[in-house]
Structure 1
Amino acid sequence: MADGLIKSDPKVLMGKPVIAGSRIPVELILEKLAAGETVEQIMQAYPRLTEEGIRAALAFAAKAIRADVIYPVHG
Structure 2
Amino acid sequence: MNWKDHIVSDNKVLLENPTVKGTRLLVEHIVGLLAEGWDEQQILENYPRLSKESLRAVFSYVQDCMKDGVLYTNIQ
Q: Same fold (TM over 0.5)?
A: yes
**Matched residue pairs, number?**
74
- Which runs of no fewer than 5 residues in structure 1 stay unpaired? none
**C-alpha deviation, 1:66, in angstroms:** 1.3
Percent of pairs with identical residues: 35
CA RMSD of aligned residues (A): 1.5
**C-alpha deviation, 1:67, in angstroms:** 1.4
Q: Normalised by the size of structure 2, how large is the TM-score? A: 0.87
**C-alpha deviation, 1:68, in angstroms:** 3.7
| Greater RCO, 1 or 2 (C-alpha within 8 Å, sep 6+) | 2
- Which runs of no fewer than 5 residues in structure 2 stay unpaired? none
Structure 1 SS opposite 2:5: coil
Q: Normalised by the size of structure 1, how large is the TM-score? A: 0.88
Give the helix-richer structure, 1 or 2: 2
User: Is residue 58 of structure 2 the alignment partner of residue 57 of structure 1?
Assistant: yes
| Structure 2 partner of 1:72 | 74
